A and B are shown apart, each in its own frame.
Chain A
């Protein structure tokens, strides 16, 4: 039985929820505001909120810092590269597990997830050693491969859950009509699976973009992405709040937007389907 909700109650909940929402969002909001201030205004006492001379100068300054554009490029290449490589390996695997499940499928899937639980420090030195041995230390290709391997279990898992929702009868019908495996994948499965693949790509890019263990420890200059670039601000030089804010906003803005679009997939991808 549906009941009309008293407007007063609704207003009360609205106020409370907005208060908490704004509180959670405040650090990002404050960083955003500070990024448009002068360095002096950024540390003004008392703090200035909205009424200051808005300026884009900090963004220009950060862009000019010779390593920012490179860090941005590195972030994009590493996040997109590791994602595409992961998708390439994961799509066939997830397809096979979803449509031709065997006795072992569940075990394989769980085993893949369990590799995600391996603490990174447990393999830190061997990886540094191997990277040096193959002369790929501080290179994008190293990070692409490492981040791909880290996210692969989640990518396989997400694709698997999406593929499983595709009715198998359609594939059987295609097979009856004499479609080969290749054309079955290309013309029947792919169009139906595209939304799921797109969501998976989104989540994988977000995770790779924000990864901050391997990206910090396996890079120095050449392949350093934004995570490392921002970390270089931890040794402050003079007044730098406004510039730090501008750099931070530049680093998080694209992912924030992508993240908002992928809320639902996040639950699916990060709980491995344990919460529905």
Chain B
């Protein structure tokens, strides 16, 4: 029973959160937008700042070959990680849902990688597994009499995909497992009684039930994966075709200090992320109603 008084009190209570988030969102974003139309080279002595050069930054950012390649790298990276985590996550969730001994412990083991900080997992994989001289994988190759494979310089993109997929597979598993467990077991048992083979049970009952959870996992992961940074930072530093859009913008802004160009790239990244965010928001919004 909300009175006018409690309404205004409520508004006062929400205000701080809304205010700080509004400032957080608007001030830096407007500055980026402003810089994206400027020529801004703080490291150059002669003419470091020209507040208006029109769409030149956007033109040169969007037409540069590094933008196109970074876009493809981003697509491959996000796509590869999604493929591994969704496929693996569905299988793992179904597996963990089976009757077994020590289910709780297995769950803990599977989830653990998600809590490892990105710099740790990237460095552990880089040195202790991928390293061509002393990595564990190299011993494996040597054990079978094969030439050790230098993962990070021969397949750098795949290496990063493996590292990040290892971190996010637990997330997909956990959420899909939650969805699997809410499945109506009577329906499954009935179809089993009717003699439906396992594959068609999966195709016609389990998969449709999971479709919403899968969509959510895809959207949330995409938003986080678009801004992968630390894993690239400590492994390849953006070299060998592992420069994603996020990393390209970071390099333009902080390494080459071309603020105008980097800001235009930043705005492009914001727009791309927003397209995905709209879909996610729609699903979340629908869920709020019921």
Contacts and interface: CB of A to CB of B under 8 A. Distances in A.
B17 interface: yes
Contacts of B29: 118, 122-123, 126
B133 to A, nearest CB: 8
A46 B113 CA distance: 26
A25 B116 CA distance: 11
Contact of B13 (A92, A123, A272): A92
A120 B227 contact: yes
Interface in A113-162: 113-130, 149, 152-153, 156
B251 to A, nearest CB: 10
Contact of A100 (B6, B28, B169): B6
B239 interface: no
Interface string B32-69: 10010000000000000000000000000000000000
Secondary structure dominating the interface of A: helix
A206 to B, nearest CB: 6
A274 interface: yes
B5 to A, nearest CB: 9
B288 interface: yes
Interface in A39-73: 42-43, 45-47
A153 to B, nearest CB: 7
B184 to A, nearest CB: 13
Nearest to B247: A121
A24 B112 contact: yes
A266 interface: yes
B284 A272 contact: yes
A18 B102 contact: yes
Given A21-B106, A100-B10, A273-B287, A212 B129 contact: no
A110 B282 CA distance: 9
B238 to A, nearest CB: 13
B103 to A, nearest CB: 8
Contacts of A30: 124, 128, 136
Give the contact-size bracket for chain B: 35 or more
Contacts of A189: none
Interface stretch (B75-83, B153-161, B196-204, B266-274): B266-274
B144 interface: no
A230 to B, nearest CB: 4
Contacts of A95: 13
Nearest to A214: B229
Interface string B260-290: 0011011101100110110011011101110
Q: Is the interface of B mostly helix, strand, loop or mixed?
A: helix
Interface in A74-123: 89-90, 92-93, 95-97, 99-102, 106, 108-110, 112-123
A219 interface: no
B254 A124 contact: yes
Interface in A9-30: 9-11, 13-14, 16-18, 20-22, 24-25, 27-28, 30
B123 A263 contact: no
Contacts of B166: 24, 27
A217 interface: yes
Interface string B1-25: 1100011011101101110110011
A18 to B, nearest CB: 6
B7 A102 contact: yes
Nearest to B40: A125
B262 A152 contact: no
Contacts of A123: 28-29, 31-32, 266
Interface of B: 1-2, 6-7, 9-11, 13-14, 16-18, 20-21, 24-25, 27-29, 31-32, 35, 92, 95-96, 98-103, 105-121, 123-129, 133-134, 136, 139, 142-143, 166, 169-171, 174-175, 178-179, 182, 189, 212-213, 216, 220, 223, 226-227, 229-230, 233-235, 246, 249-250, 253-254, 259, 262-263, 265-267, 269-270, 273-274, 276-277, 280-281, 283-285, 287-289
Given A3-B189, A93-B16, A234-B123, 5 more contacts: A92-B14, A96-B10, A110-B288, A119-B227, A248-B124
